[in-house]
Structure 1
Amino acid sequence: MPCPSATMVVWTSAWLHGAAASDDMLDALQTWAESQEVLAADEELAARLDLPGPQETPAGPALLLAALRKADAGDGQLVLPVPGDARGLGGMSPFAKLAMRGGEAVVLPRAGIGLVPQRIAEGILRWTVFGIGDLPPAEHLPIGEAEHGMASAMREAATALIDLGVAKHRPGVREEIAQTISARPVPPWPEGVPQRTLRILQRATEVEAILWVATDDAPGGALSASAIRGRTEALRPLFDAVRAARRASVAEMVRVIGDHAEKP
């Protein structure tokens, strides 16, 4: 599903390339929380970017935009780490640990900074800015390959669940899936992003909703421990494919925004 970090990556790229106004970017971020606040993870970074440090009162998101401009941030990357897959984090630094805990982050390689969002209270989202140094180059996955991978993983997961005997009818499952999807914020995207990437993101949202419902055992219908292990193994490739599709879609949006900005 879309996440605050995906919104930050795409809109930062659009804003820095002159394809979106700062107000539009701030409005898009507000999709995730009415109040947004920003602070630097350490005093040295705070002084370099003119941001409040970890012991100071957080600033508003407008100050983050000024810091990104000052740092010459350039195009960002979406990172979606999970236990066992820390790609894009470059080791277990404080940045990596917080990103792993939240399952998402923004990497801005040219500026050498990373951003991690945290929901610290109802309606309040905090962005912590870290210095990250040099990280390995981001893995490139063509958008078509990501889309195909998600479709293939879904077919294989369905077959595996049937073979395991844990794919069964569940009354009201369509309503559960629809409610899971409708409960997620729907952020706007900058003008000109490819429609294909939006369709893939929407499909990823639908598939992930199915996954969460599939792994939420109804009362009285608990599976055996071995069945749960089998289901987890069967669904893991699909969870991975959904994350890959989301990263590839965001990367393609950023690429297209940059390409359009370079045209005379």
Structure 2
Amino acid sequence: MVVWTSAWLHGAAASDDVVDALQTWAEDHEVRAASDELATRLELPGPQGRPAGAGLLLAALRKAGAARGDLVLPVAGDVRGLDGASPFSQFALRCGEAGVFADAGLGVVPEHVAEGVLRWSVFELGVLPPAEYVPIGEAEHGMASAMREAASTLNDLDIARHRPGVRGEIAEAVSARPQPDWPDDAPQRPLRVLQRAAEVEAILRVASDDAPGGALSSSATRARTDALRPLFDAVRSARCAAVAEMVRVLADRTEQY
């Protein structure tokens, strides 16, 4: 949503392209404003209204003066990019992801509400902290370093032997993840970083689960969790940096034209 919407706002994609790209994640997309006041201002359905389609969200973002968005992936203990203890922050933390359109003062949060239905709730933002810029090269290096450290720690703990057939599990997890389309002018390096992040996440999910019939001791489980936590953080950082770089490049290219 962040990449495609930013591309659309800069004339690098048609609205139909955005709507089509979102079909990767759900067949139906609903849009509601989180408050009646915001609904009136943006001409969107309110919390109790009949949801609108994704096209109306695009119109609302443009009406509010949005130019580009940022991806935030908050978890407990790391709420970078959110606006304090606001309804938006609380909902974004619960869902684990959100798009922030700071120049428009709006945040959008996706939530699966039924099979094949994704609802986008639009919030008015409070005061945001200064934006944190992480160069994509730094994020990519951080993910690789965290991967090596986690692998070394898990090897030292001798945890790997508890997972026979682990390569097949990882390959299955990677192939099961939806493969979204991207704008034609999307830069290749961020796409490679996103692909690598998806692969690393698959490894993390497999490594975090106990093998059927093979239980780890509580101390080994804690050690595994501690070893993997920095890698989870590095994957989130790499994803945010890759999306930010795509948004930046697409915006700069269209401005040059």
Contact 1:35/1:125 (8 A) holds in 2: yes
How big is each residue's C-alpha offset from its partner over 1:174-209, in whole Å with a ceiling of 9 and x where there is no partner?
221111111111110101111111111100000000
Contact 2:162/2:214 (8 A) holds in 1: no
Structure 2 equivalent of residue 120 of structure 1: 113
| SS of aligned partner of 1:55 | coil
Report the AA paired with residue 68 of structure 1: L
Using the TM superposition, give the Cα deviation of residue 25 of structure 1 relative to its aligned residue in structure 2, in angstroms.
0.5
Structure 1 vs Structure 2: percent identity of aligned residues?
71
Structure 2 equivalent of residue 177 of structure 1: 170
Contact 1:73/1:110 (8 A) holds in 2: yes
Q: Which runs of 4+ in 1 moved over 4 A?
A: none
2:97 corresponds, among 104, 115, 118, to: 104
2:55 corresponds, among 62, 66, 70, to: 62
Contact 1:36/1:127 (8 A) holds in 2: yes
| SS of aligned partner of 2:161 | coil
The answer to whether structure 1 residue 25 and structure 2 residue 22 are counterparts is no
Structure 1 equivalent of residue 30 of structure 2: 37
RMSD (Å) for aligned C-alpha atoms: 1.0
Contact 1:40/1:130 (8 A) holds in 2: yes
1:74 corresponds, among 44, 60, 67, to: 67
The answer to whether structure 1 residue 167 and structure 2 residue 148 are counterparts is no
What is the alpha-carbon distance in structure 1 between the residues aligned to residue 210 and residue 85 of structure 2?
Answer: 33
1:190 corresponds, among 178, 183, 190, to: 183
Query: Residues 1-264 of structure 1: matches in 2 within 5 Å?
Result: 8-168=1-161, 170-264=163-257
What is the alpha-carbon distance in structure 2 between the residues aligned to residue 91 and residue 229 of structure 1?
Answer: 30
| SS of aligned partner of 1:97 | helix
| SS of aligned partner of 2:110 | strand
| SS of aligned partner of 2:128 | coil
Report the AA paired with residue 172 of structure 1: G
What is the alpha-carbon distance in structure 2 between the residues aligned to residue 133 and residue 18 of structure 1?
Answer: 28
Using the TM superposition, give the Cα deviation of residue 56 of structure 1 relative to its aligned residue in structure 2, in angstroms.
0.8
Contact 2:194/2:238 (8 A) holds in 1: yes
- State the aligned residue count: 257
Q: Which runs of 5+ in 2 are unaligned?
A: none
What is the alpha-carbon distance in structure 2 between the residues aligned to residue 77 and residue 137 of structure 1?
Answer: 13
Residue range with higher mean Cα deviation, 209-218 or 161-170: 161-170
What is the alpha-carbon distance in structure 2 between the residues aligned to residue 92 and residue 163 of structure 1?
Answer: 40
Contact 2:86/2:126 (8 A) holds in 1: no
What is the alpha-carbon distance in structure 1 between the residues aligned to residue 58 and residue 148 of structure 2?
Answer: 42
Q: Taking structure 1 as the reference length, what is the TM-score of the superposition?
A: 0.95
What is the alpha-carbon distance in structure 2 between the residues aligned to residue 170 and residue 179 of structure 1?
Answer: 15
| SS of aligned partner of 2:109 | strand
What is the alpha-carbon distance in structure 1 between the residues aligned to residue 156 and residue 184 of structure 2?
Answer: 45
Using the TM superposition, give the Cα deviation of residue 141 of structure 1 relative to its aligned residue in structure 2, in angstroms.
0.5
Contact 1:109/1:134 (8 A) holds in 2: no
| SS of aligned partner of 1:168 | helix
Q: Which runs of 5+ in 1 are unaligned?
A: 1-7
Using the TM superposition, give the Cα deviation of residue 69 of structure 1 relative to its aligned residue in structure 2, in angstroms.
1.2
| SS of aligned partner of 1:110 | helix
| SS of aligned partner of 2:185 | coil
Contact 2:154/2:160 (8 A) holds in 1: yes
Using the TM superposition, give the Cα deviation of residue 171 of structure 1 relative to its aligned residue in structure 2, in angstroms.
2.4
Residue range with higher mean Cα deviation, 187-196 or 111-120: 187-196
Using the TM superposition, give the Cα deviation of residue 142 of structure 1 relative to its aligned residue in structure 2, in angstroms.
0.5
What is the alpha-carbon distance in structure 2 between the residues aligned to residue 137 and residue 109 of structure 1?
Answer: 11
How big is each residue's C-alpha offset from its partner over 1:156-188, in whole Å with a ceiling of 9 and x where there is no partner?
001111222223263221221111111111110
